[in-house]
Chains A and B, each alone.
Chain A
Amino acid sequence: MARTITYREAINEALAQEMERDESVIVMGEDNAGGEGSPGEMDAWGGVLGVTKGLYHKFPGRVLDTPISESAFIGAAIGAATAGMRPVAELMFVDFMGVCFDQIYNQAAKFRYMFGGKAVTPVVIRTMYGAGLRAAAQHSQCLYPLFTHIPGLKVVLPATPYDAKGLMIQAIRDNDPVMFFEHKALYDLAGPVPEESYALPFGEANVVREGGDVTIVALGRMVHTSLEAAGQLAATGVECEVVDLRTTSPLDEDTVLESVEGTGRLVVVDEAHPRCSVATDISALVARKAFGALRAPVEMVTAPHTPVPFSNTLEDMYIPDAQRIANAVKTVAEWAR
C-alpha cells in the first residue's frame, strides 16, 4: 500500500466507495453539497472543511444540503436509517450536539433494545472535535466521553488516514448508530491507504509502537503526540508501548490489559477534560483488572477542567503536549514506593 493520501481524502474515499457499492448510502448535513447550483461547481466546499467535496456531482440526489437545524436533520437521518437507508449525517462540530442530543441518545441509541432487537438504526453521525484551531470554547471540545457513556452508540476516533477509511467503511456497514469523531487538526495528515475498500472491526485497539517499560494509552490526535513523546523517551532509554484505542465503544480491554501486564506502568493521554472521561475509564479498568501488574500509580495527561481558552497562548498550554507526556512517563518509570 504505497499510495499516500490525507485523513480528509481517506474519509471522502470511504464515503465514495460505500455510496458506489450500496445505493442506500446517502450523505447529509450543513453545506455537504457545497455551492450546489452555483456556477463554480468545482469550487464547492463539501462541508465546512471539505470532507464531502466532489460527492454531490458523483452521486446525484444522494448528497443533501440541510438547513441549519441539527435537531431536524439529525432526526431525519435517524428516521431514514430506521426506514432502510444508510445515512451519513454531518454534525459539523460536536459542540453543537446539544440541540439534537435527544435524537441521538434517547432515540437512535434505544431502538435496538426497545424493539427487542428487531429494529436496526444504521446511521453514521460524522462530527469534528478537538482544540488547536483557534476556534475557542464553543468549537473545540472533545465530547466523545458523553457518547461513550450511552449504551447503544458506537464511538469511533480514527487517528490515521488508514484507520479513518477502514473505520468509516465499517461505520456505514454497521447496523447500529455510530458516532464518528474527526479531529480537525488531523485532516491534512497524510499516510498510506490502500485504494481498495476494507473495513476495520470496531473494538480492536492498535499497538502503534511496541515497548516494554511504560504503556501509553491514547486516542485520536493524542496518538501522534504520544508517539512524539515515545520517540524522545527512547533516546533516554525508556521504551514506551503506545496503544491507540481507535474506538471507545466498544472498547478493546484485552489489548490495554495485556500491554499493562507487560509493562506494569500506565499513562493515559486524552485531550478531553479529566472528569468522567476515557482517561478515567481506562485508569479504572486497569486498576480493577490489572492491579497485580501495576508497579506504579496510573498517570493521566489530559486537558484541564476548563473550557478551551480563546487566547492562543493559553490554548497551546491547554492541549497535552509531548513534554507533559514525557514527564508523566518519567514519573511512573522512576516511581518508588
Chain B
Amino acid sequence: MTDERIVVVTMPKWGLSMQLGKITAWVVAEGDDVSAGDDLADIETDKIAGTLEAAGGGTVRRIIARVGEDVPVSGTIALIAPAGVSDDDLDAAVAEARAVIDAGVPEDAGGGPAVEAAEVGGRKITYVGVGQDGDVVLLVHGYGGDRNSWLFLQEPLAARYRVYALDLPGHGTSSKDVGDGSVGTLADAVLGVLDAIGAERAHLVGHSLGAAAAAAAAARDPRRVSSLTLIAPVGFGAEINAGYLRGFAGAQTRRELKPVVGQLFADGSLVTRQVVDDLLAYKRLDGVEAALHAMLGTLLDGDTQRIDSAAALTAAGGAVRVTVIWGRADRIIPAAQAEAVAAAARHLLDAGHMPHMERPAEVQAAIEEAIAAAG
C-alpha cells in the first residue's frame, strides 16, 4: 500500500499524440522544498520544450527519471513527500516507477484521439475532442495557430469536461479557403463545430484572433455560450504589433520565421527548431499564404486593429460571463487593453502573447474558475 502522503510527479501529456518525454534538466534536487507552481524540470518532446511545474507542495524526496532518458507519458519521474514518509516506502514507489520507465511505451499505444471533420459553409473544419463527462469546452486558436496550440491544456481540462479544439478555416487540417477571411467566417466554423458535436451550449475559450471568433459566435447566438474566456484577444484597442503579423504572413524561410515567432513568447527560448519547422510546414501548404494574407486584411487597418470585439460583447447583451487572461509581457497586443474588456474576471500572468503555452497551469485554473462561476 503506497503512503498517501507521497505526491507523484509524472511525465505530463503535452499534446494529444505525445507518448514520450525527456527530462533535459532538473531544476530541483532531492531535498529541496517546493510549493505548487514552482518549476521542477525542463522537459522536451519530439514537438516542444517546456517546464514542468509542481502541482503540489512538499519536499522532493526522490528524483527517478534521469536527464536524457525517455519516459512514457504519466510515468512517475519524481516523488514529493513530507519527512514523515519512510525511505522504505519511497524506495518501493521508486522501484515501481523505474519498471514503468524501463518498459517504455506499450506497443498498442494509440496515436491519440481521432481527428473529426465537420462541413461548414462548404469548408472542411477539423477538430479533436477528449474527455468523457461534463460541460462542453471548445478551444479556439489564434492567427497562424491550430488545434495543437492547446497541447498543454486540452488533456488536463478533459479530466472534468468534454474538451474540443478546432482548426479555424485556413489553419491546421481544415480547408485552406477562408473566403473573405472575416471574423464572421471564423465564427461560422465555431458554431458549425458545436452543431457537429451536438452541443447546445458550450464554454468558449479563444486566443487572440480566435477570441474574436468566439466573441462573434457569442454575439450571434448568446444562448449557446455558457461562458467566454478570452486570452490576449484582438478587438479591444487600436494598438497591435502589425510588424509581427506581416512578418508571420510573409516569412518564407526558417531564418525569417524564427525571430518573428520569438515575439510571441516572453521567453524566446520556447521557440525550438521543431516549433519553427512545424510552422514552416504549415505555411508551405497550398493555400495557406493566401489565407494568411486574407486574414491580415481582417486584422489590420493600416497598422492598427480593424476588429471590434467590444462591440461583439455588447451585442451578446451581457448575458455571457466573460473572463479575460493576458500576459503582462505580451509583445503582440499590449496587456493594458485588458481594461477595455467588460469582463467579470481578469487574470494578468507573467507571460507573453501565449499564456496558454507559457503559464498553462494558471490558465487552466482561470478557465475552470470561469466555468464554475457560469454555473
Contact: A207 with B273, CB < 8 Å? yes
Main secondary structure of the interface of B (DSSP, over half): loop
Residues in chain A near residue B281, CB distance under 8 A: 1, 162, 194, 198
Residues in chain A near residue B286, CB distance under 8 A: 196-199
- The smallest beta-carbon distance between B148 and chain A, in angstroms, is 11
Give the total of B residues in contact with A, Cβ under 8 Å: 16
- The smallest beta-carbon distance between A2 and chain B, in angstroms, is 6
A196-B176, A201-B252, A207-B273 known; A2 vs B284 contact (CB < 8 Å): no
Q: Which of A166, A194, A197, A198 has the most CB of B within 10 A?
A: A198
Those of A165-216 within 8 Å (CB) of chain B:
166, 194-201, 204, 207, 210
Contact: A210 with B273, CB < 8 Å? yes
Contact: B17 with A2, CB < 8 Å? yes
Closest to A207 in B: B273
A2-B111, A2-B115 known; A196 vs B252 contact (CB < 8 Å): no
- The smallest beta-carbon distance between B146 and chain A, in angstroms, is 11
Residues in chain B near residue A200, CB distance under 8 A: 284
Contact: B273 with A166, CB < 8 Å? no
Closest to A192 in B: B281
Contact: B252 with A197, CB < 8 Å? no
Residues in chain B near residue A197, CB distance under 8 A: 285-286
Residue of B17, B112, B255, B285 near A194 (CB, 8 A) is: B285
Q: Which of B253, B281, B284 has the most CB of A within 10 A?
A: B284
- The smallest beta-carbon distance between B216 and chain A, in angstroms, is 27
* Cα–Cα distance between A198 and B281 once the two chains are bound (Å): 8
Residues in chain A near residue B285, CB distance under 8 A: 194, 196-198
- The smallest beta-carbon distance between A247 and chain B, in angstroms, is 14
Contact with A along B273-295 (1 / 0, CB 8 A): 10000000100111100000000
Residues in chain B near residue A254, CB distance under 8 A: 255
Give the total of A residues in contact with B, Cβ under 8 Å: 16
* Cα–Cα distance between A2 and B281 once the two chains are bound (Å): 13
Residue of B112, B254, B273, B284 near A199 (CB, 8 A) is: B284
Contact: A198 with B115, CB < 8 Å? no
Residues in chain A near residue B252, CB distance under 8 A: 201
* Cα–Cα distance between A283 and B120 once the two chains are bound (Å): 55
* Cα–Cα distance between A210 and B287 once the two chains are bound (Å): 31
Closest to A206 in B: B277
* Cα–Cα distance between A321 and B286 once the two chains are bound (Å): 38
* Cα–Cα distance between A196 and B253 once the two chains are bound (Å): 20
Those of B176-231 within 8 Å (CB) of chain A:
176
Contact with A along B152-186 (1 / 0, CB 8 A): 00000000000000000000010010000000000
Residues in chain A near residue B287, CB distance under 8 A: 196
Closest to A204 in B: B253
Closest to A258 in B: B255
- The smallest beta-carbon distance between B173 and chain A, in angstroms, is 8
Closest to B112 in A: A2
A2-B111, A204-B253 known; A198 vs B284 contact (CB < 8 Å): yes
Residues in chain B near residue A1, CB distance under 8 A: 281
Residues in chain B near residue A162, CB distance under 8 A: 281
* Cα–Cα distance between A298 and B176 once the two chains are bound (Å): 46
Residues in chain B near residue A204, CB distance under 8 A: 253-254
Contact with A along B289-306 (1 / 0, CB 8 A): 000000000000000000
Closest to A194 in B: B285
- The smallest beta-carbon distance between B250 and chain A, in angstroms, is 14
* Cα–Cα distance between A1 and B17 once the two chains are bound (Å): 11
Residues in chain A near residue B115, CB distance under 8 A: 2
Residues in chain A near residue B255, CB distance under 8 A: 254
A2-B17, A2-B115, A207-B273 known; A166 vs B284 contact (CB < 8 Å): yes
- The smallest beta-carbon distance between A311 and chain B, in angstroms, is 38
* Cα–Cα distance between A207 and B277 once the two chains are bound (Å): 10
* Cα–Cα distance between A162 and B277 once the two chains are bound (Å): 12
* Cα–Cα distance between A199 and B176 once the two chains are bound (Å): 15
Closest to B286 in A: A197
Residues in chain A near residue B173, CB distance under 8 A: 194-196
Those of A9-56 within 8 Å (CB) of chain B:
none
* Cα–Cα distance between A195 and B285 once the two chains are bound (Å): 10
Residues in chain A near residue B253, CB distance under 8 A: 201, 204
Contact with A along B101-117 (1 / 0, CB 8 A): 00000000001100100
Residues in chain B near residue A201, CB distance under 8 A: 252-253
Q: Which of B111, B273, B286, B287 has the most CB of A within 10 A?
A: B286
- The smallest beta-carbon distance between B286 and chain A, in angstroms, is 4
Residues in chain A near residue B254, CB distance under 8 A: 204
* Cα–Cα distance between A196 and B281 once the two chains are bound (Å): 11
Closest to A203 in B: B253
- The smallest beta-carbon distance between B240 and chain A, in angstroms, is 29
Task: Give 18 new A-B contacts, CB below 8 A, not counting A196-B287, A254-B255.
Answer: A1-B281, A162-B281, A166-B284, A194-B281, A194-B285, A195-B173, A196-B173, A196-B285, A197-B285, A198-B281, A198-B284, A198-B285, A199-B284, A200-B284, A201-B252, A201-B253, A204-B253, A210-B273
A-B pairs, 4 with minimum CB distance:
A197-B286, A198-B284, A198-B285, A196-B285
26 contacts between A and B (CB under 8 A): A1-B281, A2-B17, A2-B111, A2-B112, A2-B115, A162-B281, A166-B284, A194-B173, A194-B281, A194-B285, A195-B173, A196-B176, A196-B285, A196-B286, A196-B287, A197-B286, A198-B284, A198-B285, A199-B284, A199-B286, A200-B284, A201-B252, A204-B254, A207-B273, A210-B273, A254-B255
Interface residues, chain B, CB within 8 Å of chain A? 17, 111-112, 115, 173, 176, 252-255, 273, 281, 284-287
